[in-house]
A and B are shown apart, each in its own frame.
Chain A
Amino acid sequence: MAKSRFKKTQSTWSPDPIESRAFQVRRDNDKVSYRGVRLYDVDYAVYAHIKNYLALPIAQNNTTIEIPVGFANGEHWSQIQAHGYMRDSGGMLMAPLIMINRTGFQTRDDVPQLDVSRSPDNVPGAGGGSSIILKKAYTSANRYDRFNITNNKKPSQEFYALATPEYIEVSYDILIWTEYQEQMNGLVEQFQFHDGFAWGDTYKFPCNLDGVSFNIINAPGEDRLVRATIPVRAKAAISVPFEDFRSAIDKRISVKRVVFGDEQISFDTPNNPNDQITNTGDSFKKLL
């Protein structure tokens, strides 16, 4: 007996959409994976760029110090134990130091959202929405076969459709902490030269600075603070490997064989143009 199938699992008022079988392609026989470009990659790009190009070593206390760069507000064990070299024997943080603090992200206005018309359940695999199509150079199904040649078979192409990335602008606050203002000048100058550059090592994202604010406090009972905050905006396109519980990458096979047949449609036309067509059900007839 056939298994009963519920037809309205998603909505009370409308039946579940019927997926096209053209998109039901097995994925267990390929090794194509997609990790996406994630917020982590943007964070790492900013971190790597500062670490490699901007955190210039500075002279202090008769030594040359490489400036530690890190993300703000790590866990306690990380700050105290793993990065204990940033502290003196009493546990006090030692300057200089560069900390990165991600403050937020928002949609970019300067780039149109290409998949704006997509509904949430309309991921590329289900058709619709815009996607990026990539063709695989080699398909195992196309390996040399005498039978295909003799039968004049067209090789099938293997495509992978990626969801359109989201264009966002990630905001950071770069906190620079030095012992002396003289050291701060040298560091801040470096940042200014990299305004508008593509920051990163593997993935690169154009970054813009929003001005520098200095904060120098010399309050009694505390050590003198020389700090600068540089807001940075990184323009990024992020795409995730899964959207709406479905893979954001979708395999597609090109049409291998196209068969053309004859198709005719005939219908009765009224002799008098003023006559109303009252029953179209009988007057249309499909002929194959």
Chain B
Amino acid sequence: MALFGSGRDANFVRLINKELINRVVDIEIEYYQLATPLTPENLYGESTEKIFYQPVRIPCLIDRAEVTATSDEGGINFTRTSIFAFLLDTLKEKSIVATAGDYIKWDSSYYEIDNIQLNQYWGGKNPDTYPGNVFNETNEFGYNISLIAETHKTRIDRLNIEQTRIGINNNYYMPKNL
């Protein structure tokens, strides 16, 4: 049995992280989960009428990459990858099971989750799988800190959430023929 990294120590780290992310940094995103039982799927594994659950606001840390321009026959395209880091405890409180294929809205853009990383264990131990914890041989050890979602910016039009082809853009009103 290790001397350090017990449940009490983990609680200390948990509180500091929670205060830092939820109250100090306080960047919130909207988390969209597909309502898979309600979303019709066609033969090709796609849906033209996606249905989402109500979005949930979650505080997180964001590591956003620069916008990159790519070009092919279709024309110039702009894309961006971003990493969203959540406290796993916060997700549990909000009853969210994050998986690849969910969407995150931040800064009026939507990001599709490509990959989920769950490997930040305090003291190197995951309390859910640590044998001492599982078989009740020891007190709780370790702490599964975070869930890191690797995402890419996705086209809004395919989500069936917002209308992108109608409306006016008042923010960019400029006199013409200058």
Verify that A and B bind, or say they do not.
Answer: yes
A288 to B31, CA, bound (A): 107
- Contacts A90-B109, A95-B155 hold; do A181 and B46 have CB atoms under 8 A apart? yes
- Contacts A65-B165, A180-B46 hold; do A175 and B73 have CB atoms under 8 A apart? yes
Which residues of chain A from 201 to 232 have a CB within 8 Å of any chain B CB?
A: 220-224
Q: Which residues of B contact A86 (CB under 8 A)?
A: 75
Among B71, B115, B163, which residue has its beta carbon within 8 angstroms of that of A63? B163
A90 to B82, CA, bound (A): 14
Number of interface residues of A (CB under 8 A): 38
A223 to B80, CA, bound (A): 11
Contact A222 B152 (CB under 8 A): yes
Q: Which residues of B contact A74 (CB under 8 A)?
A: 75
Contact A221 B114 (CB under 8 A): yes
Q: Looking at B42, B48, B108, B163, which has the most chain A CB atoms within 10 Å of its CB?
A: B48
Nearest B-chain residue to A91, judged by Cβ:
B78
Number of interface residues of B (CB under 8 A): 34
Using an 8 Å CB-CB cutoff, how does the interface string of B102-125 with A read, 1 for contact, 0 for none? Answer: 000000110010110000000000
Using an 8 Å CB-CB cutoff, how does the interface string of B133-170 with A read, 1 for contact, 0 for none? Answer: 00000000000000000101111111110011110000
Using an 8 Å CB-CB cutoff, how does the interface string of A89-108 with B read, 1 for contact, 0 for none? Answer: 11111110101010000000
A79 to B75, CA, bound (A): 7
Interface residue B81 (Cβ < 8 Å from any Cβ of A): yes
Using an 8 Å CB-CB cutoff, how does the interface string of B48-84 with A read, 1 for contact, 0 for none? Answer: 1000000000000000000100010111111111000
- Contacts A79-B75, A99-B75, A222-B79 hold; do A179 and B165 have CB atoms under 8 A apart? no
Name the distance in Å between A82's Cβ and chain B's nearest Cβ: 12
Q: Which residues of A contact B173 (CB under 8 A)?
A: none
Nearest B-chain residue to A89, judged by Cβ:
B108
Using an 8 Å CB-CB cutoff, how does the interface string of A170-213 with B read, 1 for contact, 0 for none? Answer: 00010101011111000000000000000000000000000000
Residues of B within 8 A of A (CB): 42, 44, 46, 48, 67, 71, 73-81, 108-109, 112, 114-115, 150, 152-160, 163-166
19 A-B contact pairs sorted by A residue (CB < 8 Å): A59-B48, A62-B160, A72-B75, A88-B164, A90-B153, A91-B67, A91-B77, A92-B79, A92-B154, A93-B76, A93-B77, A95-B155, A99-B73, A175-B74, A180-B48, A181-B46, A221-B150, A223-B155, A223-B158
Apart from the given pairs A90-B108, A93-B77, A180-B48, 19 other A-B contacts in the complex at a CB distance below 8 Å? A60-B48, A61-B160, A61-B163, A62-B163, A65-B165, A73-B73, A90-B153, A92-B153, A92-B155, A175-B73, A177-B74, A179-B155, A182-B42, A182-B44, A182-B48, A221-B81, A222-B152, A223-B112, A223-B158
